[in-house]
Amino acid sequence: MSKDTIADIITAIRNADMNKKRTVRIPSTNITENIVKILLQEGFIENVRKHQESNKYFLVLTLRHRRNRKGSYRTVLNLKRISRPGLRIYSNYQKIPRILGGMGIVILSTSRGIMTDRRARIEGIGGEILCYIW
Protein backbone atom coordinates (compact mmCIF):
# COMPACT_ATOMS: atom_id res chain seq x y z
CA MET A 1 0.00 0.00 0.00
CA SER A 2 1.37 3.38 -0.96
CA LYS A 3 1.41 6.54 1.10
CA ASP A 4 -0.51 8.51 -1.52
CA THR A 5 -4.09 8.14 -0.24
CA ILE A 6 -5.54 10.35 -2.97
CA ALA A 7 -4.06 8.17 -5.72
CA ASP A 8 -5.33 5.08 -3.87
CA ILE A 9 -8.95 6.30 -3.76
CA ILE A 10 -8.84 7.52 -7.36
CA THR A 11 -7.52 4.14 -8.48
CA ALA A 12 -10.13 2.26 -6.43
CA ILE A 13 -12.98 4.34 -7.90
CA ARG A 14 -11.61 4.04 -11.46
CA ASN A 15 -11.17 0.26 -11.18
CA ALA A 16 -14.65 -0.25 -9.73
CA ASP A 17 -16.13 1.91 -12.48
CA MET A 18 -14.31 0.03 -15.26
CA ASN A 19 -15.42 -3.33 -13.82
CA LYS A 20 -19.04 -2.11 -13.59
CA LYS A 21 -19.15 -2.49 -9.82
CA ARG A 22 -22.01 -0.70 -8.17
CA THR A 23 -20.20 0.08 -4.89
CA VAL A 24 -16.62 0.67 -3.80
CA ARG A 25 -15.19 0.78 -0.28
CA ILE A 26 -12.36 3.19 0.53
CA PRO A 27 -10.63 4.05 3.83
CA SER A 28 -12.01 7.12 5.55
CA THR A 29 -9.69 10.07 6.22
CA ASN A 30 -10.35 13.81 6.30
CA ILE A 31 -8.97 14.22 2.77
CA THR A 32 -10.98 11.35 1.30
CA GLU A 33 -14.16 12.57 2.98
CA ASN A 34 -13.72 16.03 1.47
CA ILE A 35 -13.00 14.67 -2.02
CA VAL A 36 -15.98 12.31 -1.84
CA LYS A 37 -18.19 15.18 -0.67
CA ILE A 38 -17.18 17.13 -3.80
CA LEU A 39 -17.87 14.09 -6.02
CA LEU A 40 -21.32 13.77 -4.44
CA GLN A 41 -22.14 17.48 -4.82
CA GLU A 42 -21.05 17.49 -8.47
CA GLY A 43 -23.13 14.39 -9.27
CA PHE A 44 -20.33 11.96 -10.13
CA ILE A 45 -21.47 9.45 -7.49
CA GLU A 46 -24.95 8.65 -6.21
CA ASN A 47 -24.55 7.98 -2.50
CA VAL A 48 -22.01 7.79 0.33
CA ARG A 49 -22.28 6.09 3.69
CA LYS A 50 -19.78 5.65 6.50
CA HIS A 51 -19.14 2.10 7.71
CA GLN A 52 -17.14 0.90 10.73
CA GLU A 53 -15.29 -2.39 11.03
CA SER A 54 -13.13 -3.12 14.08
CA ASN A 55 -12.28 0.51 14.95
CA LYS A 56 -11.59 1.46 11.31
CA TYR A 57 -13.92 3.64 9.29
CA PHE A 58 -14.63 3.14 5.60
CA LEU A 59 -16.64 5.10 3.07
CA VAL A 60 -18.93 3.03 0.86
CA LEU A 61 -19.57 4.86 -2.42
CA THR A 62 -22.43 4.03 -4.76
CA LEU A 63 -21.26 4.73 -8.31
CA ARG A 64 -23.41 6.12 -11.08
CA HIS A 65 -23.70 4.17 -14.35
CA ARG A 66 -25.56 4.96 -17.54
CA ARG A 67 -27.10 2.40 -19.83
CA ASN A 68 -27.02 2.57 -23.59
CA ARG A 69 -30.03 1.49 -25.62
CA LYS A 70 -28.43 -1.90 -26.21
CA GLY A 71 -28.21 -2.48 -22.48
CA SER A 72 -24.44 -2.12 -22.07
CA TYR A 73 -22.96 0.06 -19.38
CA ARG A 74 -20.97 3.17 -20.12
CA THR A 75 -18.54 4.53 -17.59
CA VAL A 76 -19.18 8.03 -16.38
CA LEU A 77 -16.07 8.76 -14.33
CA ASN A 78 -12.71 9.75 -15.72
CA LEU A 79 -10.22 10.61 -12.99
CA LYS A 80 -6.62 11.72 -13.32
CA ARG A 81 -4.18 12.40 -10.49
CA ILE A 82 -2.09 15.51 -11.17
CA SER A 83 -0.06 16.53 -8.14
CA ARG A 84 1.73 13.64 -6.46
CA PRO A 85 4.20 13.31 -3.58
CA GLY A 86 7.21 13.33 -5.94
CA LEU A 87 6.03 16.31 -8.00
CA ARG A 88 3.66 18.89 -6.53
CA ILE A 89 1.76 21.07 -9.00
CA TYR A 90 0.51 24.46 -7.80
CA SER A 91 -1.54 27.11 -9.56
CA ASN A 92 -2.87 30.54 -8.75
CA TYR A 93 -6.58 31.17 -9.26
CA GLN A 94 -6.10 32.84 -12.66
CA LYS A 95 -4.21 29.90 -14.18
CA ILE A 96 -6.33 27.00 -12.92
CA PRO A 97 -6.98 24.83 -16.00
CA ARG A 98 -10.47 24.32 -17.38
CA ILE A 99 -11.32 20.69 -18.11
CA LEU A 100 -13.37 20.15 -21.28
CA GLY A 101 -14.23 23.83 -21.41
CA GLY A 102 -15.73 23.77 -17.91
CA MET A 103 -17.56 20.44 -18.19
CA GLY A 104 -15.11 18.68 -15.87
CA ILE A 105 -13.82 19.79 -12.50
CA VAL A 106 -10.43 20.34 -10.95
CA ILE A 107 -10.08 19.51 -7.25
CA LEU A 108 -7.68 21.81 -5.42
CA SER A 109 -6.19 21.79 -1.95
CA THR A 110 -6.17 25.42 -0.83
CA SER A 111 -5.50 27.27 2.40
CA ARG A 112 -9.27 27.22 2.98
CA GLY A 113 -9.67 23.48 2.43
CA ILE A 114 -10.30 21.16 -0.50
CA MET A 115 -12.55 22.73 -3.14
CA THR A 116 -13.44 22.75 -6.82
CA ASP A 117 -11.92 25.06 -9.42
CA ARG A 118 -15.11 27.12 -9.72
CA ARG A 119 -15.22 27.90 -6.03
CA ALA A 120 -11.48 28.70 -5.96
CA ARG A 121 -11.91 31.17 -8.83
CA ILE A 122 -14.84 32.83 -7.05
CA GLU A 123 -12.91 33.14 -3.79
CA GLY A 124 -9.75 34.23 -5.64
CA ILE A 125 -7.37 31.66 -4.16
CA GLY A 126 -5.08 29.10 -5.74
CA GLY A 127 -3.49 25.97 -4.41
CA GLU A 128 -2.25 22.48 -5.17
CA ILE A 129 -4.02 20.77 -8.06
CA LEU A 130 -4.98 17.33 -6.74
CA CYS A 131 -6.89 15.77 -9.64
CA TYR A 132 -9.04 16.24 -12.73
CA ILE A 133 -12.49 14.65 -13.00
CA TRP A 134 -14.61 14.59 -16.14
How do residues 50-71 score in pLDDT, each as one tens digit? 999 999 999 999 998 765 566 5
CA distances from 36 to 21, 61, 72, 93 (A): 17, 8, 26, 22
Candidate from 1-5, 19-23, 116-120, 126-130 with smallest mean pLDDT: 1-5
| CB burial readout 83-103, b (16+ within 10 A) else e | beeeeeeebebeebeebeeee
Answer left, alpha or beta for residue 120, where phi above 0 means left and psi between -120 and 50 means alpha.
alpha
pLDDT at 39 over 60: yes
Q: Packing angle between helix 30-42 and helix 5-18, nearest 10 degrees?
A: 40
Determine the topology of domain 3-131 in CATH: Ribosomal Protein S8; Chain: A, domain 1 (3.30.1370)
Q: How confident is the model at residue 110 (pLDDT cuts 50, 70, 90)?
A: very high
Domain parsing of the chain, residue ranges = 3-131
- Write the DSSP symbol of residue 83: S
Which of the pair, 64 or 29, is modelled with greater confidence?
29
**Average confidence score pLDDT of the chain:** 91
Expressed in angstroms, the distance from the first to the final Cα of the chain is 26
pLDDT at 47 over 90: yes
pLDDT at 1 over 60: no
Q: What is the mean pLDDT of residues 15-24?
A: 91
For the question of whether the overall pTM of this predicted structure is more than 0.75, the answer is yes
